[in-house]
Amino acid sequence: MGKRVLLGFSGGVDSFYSAYLLREKSFDVHLIYFKLLKTANPERVRKSAELLKLPLTVIDLSDEFRKAVIDYFIRYYKLGLTPNPCAVCNREIKLKYLYRLMKELSFDFIATGHYARVVYVPEFRRNLISRGVDRRKEQSYFLSLVEREVFDSLLLPLGDFTKEEVVKRAKELGFEYRGESQDICFIPGEYTEFLKRFIKPRPGYFRLRDGTVLGRHKGLFYYTVGQRRGLGIPYKHSLYVLELLPEENAVVVGSKEEILKDEILVWKLNWHVKPEELVGREIEVQIRYRAKPVKVRELKYLNSDFYCVKLAAKVEAPAPGQVCAFYNGDLLIGGGEITREGAGRWKEA
């Protein structure tokens, strides 16, 4: 009690109620607003802080955000990959800089408004992230790339609440709720319109795996793996995007059966628990936010930090570039990136 905590504060309902809960538990709360865009106006943030009667510091990280998140987002679409800007932002910006500030200013904790929980797990002798109680909203998936050491100092006040409870209680405190924020904070409209400012659309061909050309596409970034609608290709059965190939500017399409996979390649693994500590434990993976977790049948380490993940059931359209989160029950035990690179070329270590 009385411990000092830096809370990442957006001025939205989740960070607002998180701050209130910590204050009510006698934490000495200091609000930190990271300005991620040059055009961002922190006026609403200041009003929320005033309502809470808590000190607020505004820090401009717009240059860092552009390099770490926006440039990454654009680069991945150029490569025919599907980026996950929220997971990368948590690792490279929000939690990274909160943690750094905590150390520099000698605070005791950091906190965010994520719907997840921090729990101490005796058998692993460390803090880990666990799923939040609101299964429709819980956000542990987006924390899978964050370095585990951060969790020793992290508070997640909303993990035991539902979104509905948070909104209701925040309104009772005088908070003006304006609904959910947009999916990608730096894109106000369609992401394809945003990308057109940086990537010149290059029309190419739709083709089957056997090379049969079926028509022309508008440009790779208009399509994602697993997409069915909007292809505009007349065919004897429904077609789905199987793969994006920037090296030949082709969109490979095929049947529903062809997008179902029981084996995926994952790299850039960020383990919260060492793999050797997981021997004998049931592991599940989640290949996108809100996707149903699937049991892992076998986890094979390949050279150069690649893992071949063999699944007990098929998953639909694992997209290269997306985050693959690993769980043991409700415990988040790590995360990595789904990739097509190295497929068929990497030998087992």
How does pLDDT run across 210-258, given as a tens digit for each residue? 999 999 999 999 999 999 998 989 898 999 999 999 999 999 999 999 9
Share of the chain above pLDDT 70, in %: 96
**Looking at residue 348, what DSSP letter applies?**
B
Q: How far apart are CA 176 and CA 18, in angstroms?
A: 15
Give the pLDDT mean for 288-314: 91
* Strands (DSSP E) found in the chain: 4-8, 28-35, 56-60, 109-111, 116-121, 126-131, 154-155, 204-207, 213-217, 240-245, 250-254, 260-271, 284-286, 294-302, 306-316, 323-328, 331-338
Active-site amino acid positions:
89, 185
- Delimit the CATH 2.40.30.10 region(s) of the chain: 259-338
| Segment 171-207, tens digit of pLDDT | 999 999 988 876 788 888 899 999 999 999 999 999 9
| 264 and 286 Cβ atoms separated by less than 8 Å | no
**CATH fold for domain 259-338:** Elongation Factor Tu (Ef-tu); domain 3 (2.40.30)
Mean pLDDT along residues 33-51: 94
Share of the chain above pLDDT 90, in %: 87
| 30 and 50 Cβ atoms separated by less than 8 Å | no
Looking at domain 200-254, does it have CATH number 3.40.50.300?
Answer: no
Q: What are 59-75's pLDDT values in tens digits?
A: 999 999 999 999 999 99
All CATH 3.40.50.620 domain ranges in the chain, comma separated: 4-172
Q: What is the structure's pLDDT at 184?
A: 82
Q: At what angle do helices 163-172 and 13-24 cross, to 10 degrees?
A: 70
- Whether residue 2 is predicted with pLDDT greater than 70 in this model: the reply is no
Delimiting residues of CATH 2.30.30.280 domain(s) in the chain: 200-254
Per residue in 206-220, pLDDT (tens digit) is 999 999 999 999 999
Give the model's pLDDT for residue 341.
61
Q: Give the pLDDT band of residue 348 (cuts 50, 70, 90).
A: very low
- The pair of structure tokens assigned to 35 is 């300005």
Q: Output the pTM of the full model.
A: 0.93
Q: What are the CA-CA distances from residue 44 to residues 51, 94, 177 (Å)?
A: 11, 19, 11
- Binding site for ATP: what residues are annotated? 8-15, 34, 113
Is the per-residue pLDDT at 342 higher than 80? no
Residue 275: pLDDT over 90: no
pLDDT band at 128 (very low <50, low <70, confident <90, very high): very high
Average pLDDT, the chain: 93
Q: Which fold has domain 4-172?
A: Rossmann fold (3.40.50)
CA 246, 188, 72, 340 dihedral sign is: negative
pLDDT at 289 over 70: yes
